[in-house]
Amino acid sequence: MKIFHDGDHGKALCADCDDVVRTTYRRRDVPFSDGNGMARNILVGVCDRCGATVAIPAQSTPAISKARKAAMRPIEASLPAIYLDVLDHAVQRIDGQASTDFRRALLTYFVHKTAMDARAAVVLRLSHRRAIERFPEERGAARRRISMKVPQRVTEDFRKLEASSELNTTELLKSVVFLIHKQVLEQPKPRLIGELQALSAIWA
Ligand SMILES: [Zn+2]
């Protein structure tokens, strides 16, 4: 792998100039593709003609992924305590040895699975309605905080589901926990339970 230094030159295709152009390697702040923040002082190839960033050398990739990780926001909410109880119960049902940290894997699994479903918004809104019917919220009922650091991709899945279902973080979590309630505790399917047990076995 060739290591580039500030001021080195190269050649790259510039989309703005629609041409192969000479580039100069410079340190720049590179915005993440999803627009949420940026990686600072990353060495990139800049088009000599128009100044656009046209190349990111392999050596800059670790710095970018490190910055992305640092920008990772946990999913946080304060939920009526019953939802955390359901979650812990489901964790126990899957694997009696699992720690409560397996909650994070369980929620991540369901968020990802739901995000792949074309009917996600409908499923989530329905589940949310059932959750509210099943666990009516009385004034002053105990609430518990949940805070989970999850990979960027999961946060993206989560934000997408929030937007499509028009539920905020707290309400979306209620909806997802209720899906878990149904599929793990009320009407468990052996195949799903098997998958989750396998996940638990490799979860450290
Ligand atoms: Zn250019």
Whole-number Å distance, alpha carbon 36 to ligand 1 midpoint, is 25
Residue 132 has a pLDDT of: 96
Angle of helix 169-180 versus helix 152-165 axis, rounded to 10: 100
Q: What distance in Å separates the CA atoms of residue 143 and residue 163, rounded to the nearest whole number?
A: 24
Yes or no: say if 122 and 130 are a contact pair by the CB < 8 Å rule: no
- What residue type is assigned to position 143 of the chain? R
Whole-number Å distance, alpha carbon 22 to ligand 1 midpoint, is 9
Residue partners of 68: CB distance under 8 A and separation at least 6: 32, 37, 39, 152
Q: What is the 8-class DSSP label of residue 148?
A: E
Residue 74 has a pLDDT of: 82
Residue 37 has a pLDDT of: 76
Q: What distance in Å separates the CA atoms of residue 193 and residue 15, rounded to the nearest whole number?
A: 49
Whole-number Å distance, alpha carbon 51 to ligand 1 midpoint, is 6
Whole-number Å distance, alpha carbon 10 to ligand 1 midpoint, is 13
Q: Which of 64, 53, 58 has the alpha carbon at shortest distance from 12?
A: 53
The H or E element spanning position 81 is helix 81-94
Residue 126 has a pLDDT of: 97
116-135 tens-digit pLDDT: 999 999 999 999 999 999 99
Residue 65 has a pLDDT of: 84
3-class state of residue 130 by DSSP: helix
The H or E element spanning position 80 is strand 75-80
Whole-number Å distance, alpha carbon 97 to ligand 1 midpoint, is 58
Strands 75-80 and 38-47: unpaired
- Domains in the chain (CATH in brackets) are 9-70 (3.10.20), 75-202 (no CATH)
Low-confidence ranges of the chain (pLDDT < 50): none
Whole-number Å distance, alpha carbon 56 to ligand 1 midpoint, is 15
